Amino acid sequence: MPTFNFVFWDTASGGFLESEGPVIDVVISMPTQLEAWCITNNFPVPAPVTGHALIDTGASISGIHLPVLEQLSLLPTDFIRLEGATGVEEKAPIFPARVSFPGLNLNDVTMNMVVGNQVSFHTLKGKNIIMLLGRDLLKGFTLIYNGTFNQIILSH
Amino acid sequence: MALEKELARFEALKPTLVASYDGKFALIKGDDFIGAYDSAENAYTEGVKRFGRTEFLVRKVTEREEIYINKALCLGMMNAHL
């Protein structure tokens, strides 16, 4: 079970785990089935989109920024009932996607259900968040949030 | 709305699907129920094979629809700085 340490500290600003949140690199691509179909049928395969994922233990399902999914020519395969902090439900489109986490040496994870929504923002350090990594993926991980040392530890 | 026809078809077929395919994943294109599969991935693979890069529905067959929770997404809290 490989273990990966992420340290949120630099000499200029000291620790920044609290302000940035637990963020890791992510690459989002077209699902392999659709990529193979596009190649066979001479359709262009969109380039993978790189950005950052914010680990969100409060989310039961992961979300990806909707324009990223559209950039990858993905179409929704269903709508789910999604509840927000106020308890209000909305219908949210879900998509299949393929994600890789270079910092975890974890490539081509097939996700059959990710919510497409407006996720994107830049952290104070300028990292472009395009994904919320929820418990549907975290169920395969051990996560240690060490706020004292501005460090997160992930193993899978 | 996307998948409007497929979602209506699923609702119409739901009692029959639950009786026969509870827990499996239904693949529906337009008014056509294509089949039920053991996983969402298998249903999606079949959908891509048959329909390529067009819309189709992949939905879990279950009596009670699951409610997912994602507080930050729904509230628009992603841009909040306290």
Would you mind telling me the total number of residues written for chain A in this entry? 156
User: CA of B68: which chain A residue's CA is closest?
Assistant: A82
Q: What is the pLDDT of residue B6?
A: 97
User: CA of B49: which chain A residue's CA is closest?
Assistant: A37
Q: How confident is the model at residue B71 (pLDDT cuts 50, 70, 90)?
A: low
Q: What is the pLDDT of residue B73?
A: 54
Query: Which tokens is B65 given?
Result: 């629809």
Chain A nearest-CA distance from B41, in A, is 6
Q: Do residues B36 and B17 make contact, with C-beta atoms less than 8 angstroms apart?
A: yes
Look at A82 and B76 and tell me if their CB atoms are within 8 Å.
Answer: no
Q: Hey, which residues does A144 pair with through a beta bridge?
A: A153
Q: Is pLDDT at B75 greater than 90 in this prediction?
A: no
Which option is the CATH number for A23-139: 1.10.287.3510, 2.40.70.10, 2.102.10.10, 2.60.40.10? 2.40.70.10
Q: Does B7 touch chain A (CB under 8 A)?
A: yes
Average pLDDT over residues B23-30: 97
Q: Does A22 touch chain B (CB under 8 A)?
A: no
Q: Does B64 touch chain A (CB under 8 A)?
A: no
Q: What is the pLDDT of residue B82?
A: 44
The tens-digit pLDDT sequence of chain A (156 residues) is 899 999 999 998 899 999 989 999 999 999 999 999 999 999 999 999 999 999 999 888 999 999 999 999 999 999 998 887 667 788 899 999 999 999 999 999 999 999 998 877 788 888 899 999 999 999 999 999 999 999 999 999
Parallel/antiparallel/unpaired status of strands A128-133 and A142-146: unpaired
A42 SS3 class: coil
Q: Is pLDDT at B35 greater than 50 in this prediction?
A: yes
Q: Is the dihedral of CA A126, A92, B73, A134 positive or negative?
A: negative
Question: Nearest CA to A150 among A4, A7, A2, A1?
Answer: A7
Q: Do residues A111 and A30 make contact, with C-beta atoms less than 8 angstroms apart?
A: no
Average pLDDT over residues B10-15: 96
Contacts of A138 in chain B (CB under 8 A): none
Chain B nearest-CA distance from A147, in A, is 18
Extents of the domains making up chain A: 23-139
Q: Does B82 touch chain A (CB under 8 A)?
A: no
Selected for mutation to probe chain B from A70, A77, A109 (highest B CB count within 10 Å) is A77
Count CB atoms within 10 A of the CB of residue A32.
15
The predicted model scores a pTM of 0.90
Q: How confident is the model at residue B81 (pLDDT cuts 50, 70, 90)?
A: very low
Q: Is the dihedral of CA B26, A83, A22, A156 positive or negative?
A: negative
DSSP one-letter code for B24: S
Q: How confident is the model at residue B5 (pLDDT cuts 50, 70, 90)?
A: very high
Q: What is the pLDDT of residue A79?
A: 95
Q: What is the pLDDT of residue B67?
A: 82
Q: Is pLDDT at B25 greater than 60 in this prediction?
A: yes
Choose the closest CB to B78 out of A58, A89, A119.
A119
Look at B44 and A96 and tell me if their CB atoms are within 8 Å.
Answer: yes
